[in-house]
Structure 1
C-alpha cells in the first residue's frame, strides 16, 4: 500500500485486463498498474483482418485505458505470492496488494512434426504480422492451408479467399464444431462460394507440416506455400511457474468469485483462468464480463465485504466470412448454441457492429476511469505514483 492507496497490479492488457483496470481505477483509494509486453491494445477479434490489410487491429492504450492507470511495458516472469511482487523480464519488480491475472492465451502448442518450424498463426499481433509478411512475399496463386475450423480458422480462411487466395481449410473433424448443425450450412455455402476447399473428418487430420506442404493422416500430401495453424489455443505458464494451481490446460484455478484457490490476493479474468466447477469458453465475450467481475471481487474485499459469485450471460458467436458476408450464431444465456442465426450481409453487419461496440465499450470505460467517478466516500483521492518504469498510456494508433 502506497500513500494510503491499495495497489492493484493487472497482468495482461487484453480485453479482460483492460476492463478490470478501468473498473478498478474508478475507485478512490485504489492505484492501478497494468503490466503488458507491448504498449498498445490489440483488437484480437480483428487479427484476421490485419493479415489482409483491412484493419490494423491495434489501438493505443491511451484510448482504452483511464489516464490514471499506469502502464509498465514489460513481460511478467513470476508472481512472488509471499512478497506480493511481480518479477519482470526487464529485471524490475512491481509490488501489489491485489493482483488481476489476465495474461490471455496464444497459439496452441504446435506439437505436430514441422508445425513449430514452418506454420504461421494469427492468435497474437506478432504472429499475424509475420503471416502478413509471408503472404506478401508469396504469389497470389500459391496454395494456402488453414489448419483448424473453429472461429479463427473459419474467419481467416474466408478473409484470405475473398482477397483472392487459393485456400484449403483442414478441419481434422467437423467444420465449425462450436456451431449448431443448421448454422454450419450457410457457413459451408459461403466457403464454397469463395472457392475454399474444405477437408473434413478424422482422416483429414494434419500429421506433419513441411516448408511447402501439409501431410494428412490418410497419407495425402497437400501443397502449401503458407500454412496457418489455428487449431486451438494455449495459455502462458506464468501461474504454474509461480507455484499456483492450474487445470490440465495451464489455466489458473479459481473459485466462483474468480479468486485463486491458493491465494485470496489473486483474482483472474479472461482466457487464462478456469473456475473449478464451470470453466468458460475462451472468448472476447467472456473476457469483457470477467474483467469487471474480477474488479468487483477485489473492491468488495477492500471494503471488507464477501465477494459475490460471478454471473455470466452469453448471446452467441459472430463470425465474419470475408468483408461481404458473415454468420451470427445465437445461443442460450449459458452459451449453449441454438439454431437461430443471421447470415449473409446482415450477418457481416452484426459482426462489425459487435467489434465496434466492444471497442467503444472499452473507450467508455476509460473515460469513466479518467473522470474518477467515485463509488466510495471520496476521502482518499488517488496520488499517482511516478516510478521510472511506469509510463503514461499512449494514444497513438498503428497504421495498417
Structure 2
C-alpha cells in the first residue's frame, strides 16, 4: 500500500487506546479513535466509583498519543464494502483499516423484575447512577449484590467496608474462576467485612422487586438496593453491520484478529472471538489484544505476514476493599492454580495493576511499539490443542450431517 493509511478504531477502552497508540509507529498512518465519551473509563475502578473512592475517569490527553484524532461520537453502522462508518451525530467516516474494540457491558437480565428494580454497573453511566442511589439511601439500608464474579465481589467488599449491610448472592460458586484455596481466602475476607455470602445452585435469583430478591429456593432476601453484576454482553453493532459474529455478538476473526469476512476489519478486546475461541473478558486480555490487532495492521502495511495470537500470561486480581485483595495465579492456559497472594500485599498488587494498565497506555503513547506483554512466551501449544479439538468436533458434526 502506498500513500497515507487511515485507521479507524471503534471504542476507546483499554484495547482501543493501546491499538491506536501502537499504530503511530508509522508516520504514514493516521488514526481516528471514535468513542462515545471524551474521557477514558478506567473500568477496573468502577467498583471504587460505586464505593465513593474514585471517579474511574482518565483524560484522554494523558493516555492518548497527540497524533490521534479523537471523535466523541457513537458508530451506528459499519459498511465494510464501502469501508466507512456512520456516526450517530451524522455523517460518515472512511477508513483503510478498521479495528473494532467496542468492549462489553452488562447482559440484559432475564430474571423477572431485574431490569426494572436492579442496578447494573458495568459501564460508567450505570455506576454513576448507582452511586447516586446509594448516596440517597440510608447507611443502614440492606444492599444485595447478585453475581459473584470479580465485579460482584469487589463491589460487595467496597460497600461493606463503608459500613453497609451487604449480602452477596452467588448463584453458584463464589468467584468461579478462583482455585479452592483462593476462594476460601476471599470468603474469609468477606466474612471479616460482614458480608453475608450465599453460595450454591439454589441461590440463583428468580425474581427482583423494589425491596427484595427472591431465590429459586423460594427464599426472599430483603433489599433496599439490588446491584446486578451477573453476566456480560457485547454491543450488537458488528452483528447489525453484517459482520460474522459468535452467539454473543463478538466479531469472528482468525488468529491474527482479522475478521473472517474482510481483511481490512480487525477486532480486539472483549468484542473479539478469534477462531471462535474468545479469551476471557478482562483488562488482562484486552490490552494485549489491542497491541496484537495493531501489529497485524502494521505487518500488512510492511508487506509481512502477521503473527498469530500469542497469549501466555494469565491471572485474576480482585480487590477486597481498600485494605485487602487477592492475586490468583494461573497456568498459561488460563486455569487457576493453588497459589495466590492475599491480604494487604494482595491489595497493593491490585493497586499496582490498576495503575500499571494506564502506565502501559502512557508508555505506548510516548514510545509506540514498546509494549511486549502480548509476546510473553508460553500458552501457544495449549491454544493449538484447543483449536485442533474444535476442528475435529466441527468435522465430526459435518460428517454426521452428511
TM-score by length of 2: 0.90
The Cα shift of 1:192 comes to 0.6
Q: 5+ unaligned residues in a row in structure 2: which ranges?
A: 370-402
1:268 corresponding residue in structure 2: 267
Aligned partners of 1:361, 1:244: CA distance in 2, in Å? 30
**Greater percentage in helix:** 2
Q: Report how far residue 242 of structure 1 moved.
A: 0.4
Measure how far apart 1:231 and its partner are.
0.7
Structure 1 stretch 129-138 or stretch 353-362: which is displaced more?
353-362
Partner of 2:9: 10
1:208-241 Cα offsets, whole Å, 9 max, x none, are 1111111110111111111111111100001100
Name the counterpart of 2:282. 283
Task: Give deviations 1:321-365, integer Å, cap 9, x for gaps.
Answer: 000111110011221110110010001011001111111111111
Moved more, 299-308 or 65-74: 299-308
Moved more, 357-366 or 128-137: 357-366
Q: Give me the whole-angstrom Cα distance separating, in 2, the residues matched to 1:188 and 1:197.
A: 10
Counterpart contact for 2:213–2:220, Cα < 8 Å: yes
Alignment of 1:131-170 (within 5 A): 131-170=130-169
- Is contact 2:252–2:276 with CA below 8 Å preserved after alignment? no
- Work out whether residues 66 and 368 of structure 1, in 8 Å CA contact, stay in contact via their aligned partners in 2: no
Equivalenced residues, count: 370
SS at match of 1:278: coil
Cα deviation code 1:293-325 (max 9, x no counterpart): 000001111122221101112231111000011
Partner in structure 2 of residue 206 of structure 1:
205
Tell me the CA shift for residue 47 of structure 1: 0.4
The Cα shift of 1:53 comes to 1.7
Cα distance in 2, alignment partners of residues 31 and 170 from structure 1: 48
Query: What are the Cα deviations for residues 69-118 of structure 1, in whole angstroms up to 9, with x where unaligned?
Result: 00110011110011101111111211100000000000111121111111
Instruction: Give SS of 1:111's match.
Output: coil
Greater shift after overlay, 300-309 or 44-53? 300-309
CA offset at residue 277 of structure 1? 4.7
1:58 is aligned to 57
Displacement, 1:172? 0.5
Deviation of 1:182 (Å): 1.1
Whole-angstrom distance in 1 between the partners of 2:40 and 2:276:
31
* Matches of 1:244 and 1:207, distance apart in 2: 35
Secondary structure of the residue that 1:271 maps to in structure 2?
Answer: helix
Q: Deviations over 1:248-268 (max 9, x none)?
A: 111111110000111100011
User: What is the correspondence of 1:331-350 to structure 2 with a 5 Å cutoff?
Assistant: 331-350=330-349
- Check if 1:178 corresponds to 2:177: yes
- Greater RCO between the two (CA within 8 Å, min separation 6)? 1
The reply on whether 1:307 has 2:332 as its aligned counterpart is: no
Task: Report the equivalent of 1:329.
Answer: 328
User: 1:65-76 to 2 correspondence within 5 Å?
Assistant: 65-76=64-75
Q: How does 1:1-400 map to 2 (within 5 A)?
A: 4-369=3-368
Q: 1:362 is paired with a residue of what secondary structure? A: helix
Distance in 1 (CA, whole Å) between partners of 2:206 and 2:53 is 32
Give the alignment's TM-score, normalised by structure 1. 0.90
123-132 vs 311-320, which deviates more? 311-320
- CA RMSD for the aligned pairs? 1.5
